[in-house]
Amino acid sequence: MSTALDIVSLVLLFLGSFFCITAGVGLIRMPDFFTRAHSASILDSMGAGLILLGLALQAPDYLVVIKLFFIFFFLLVTSLAAVHALAQAVNLLGIDPNRAKILQRLGKNQTENNKPETIEPNTTEPNTTENGHRIPD
């Protein structure tokens, strides 16, 4: 019984570690903000859930299980609310999610040097939005 619980806990911890590293790699390699928010949400839901479940199977008493459940609950509520507030703040800036990648690539090219073959967006200046807000660097 104990060894079976250990094996299940081991598998859950390894899966949680895998999702943690997936979220980290996604944060590094995703092209724009919205996809990075997506990969950060993986850590909040899958990574934290699996690791805390794997820890709960090793708990010595029920109080520890309840604490782990409350940690998971607060992480789920607060982190997803924070990511939602972030995405709403970026959305209120007027950045179209479909063109966020193009805008960011244009901004990067502007800092290096102006390459003539880059795609021009509909706005007049590539680093500002329709409302005249400037995207903070």
Partner 1 sequence: MFGVAMIAILVTMLMALARSFIGPTLYDRILAINTAGTATVLFIAALGFLMGRPDFLDIALAYALINFIGTIAVLKFVKFGNLGTADPADAQSSTDQATTDQSHSTQ
Asked if residue 133 binds partner 1 (CB under 8 A), the reply is yes
> What is the DSSP code (8-state) at residue 96?
-
Report the chain's terminal Cα–Cα distance, integer Å. Answer: 55
Place of tokens 């950045």: 95
Instruction: Give the footprint of partner 1 on residues 53-82 (CB under 8 A).
Output: 54-55, 58-60, 64, 67-68, 70-71, 74-75, 78-79, 81-82
Query: Which string of DSSP letters, residue by residue, matches 97-132?
Result: TTTHHHHHHHHHHHHH---TTSPP-SSSSTTB-TTS
Asked if residue 89 binds partner 1 (CB under 8 A), the reply is yes
CA pair distance 103, 134, nearest whole angstrom: 12
The alpha carbon dihedral of 112, 115, 121, 124 has a sign of: positive
Site string for partner 1, 9-48 (x = CB under 8 A): xx--xx-xxx-xx-xxx-xx----x--xx--x--xx--xx
Q: Which residues bind partner 1 (CB under 8 A)?
A: 9-10, 13-14, 16-18, 20-21, 23-25, 27-28, 33, 36-37, 40, 43-44, 47-48, 51-52, 54-55, 58-60, 64, 67-68, 70-71, 74-75, 78-79, 81-83, 85-86, 89-90, 104, 107-108, 131-133, 135-137
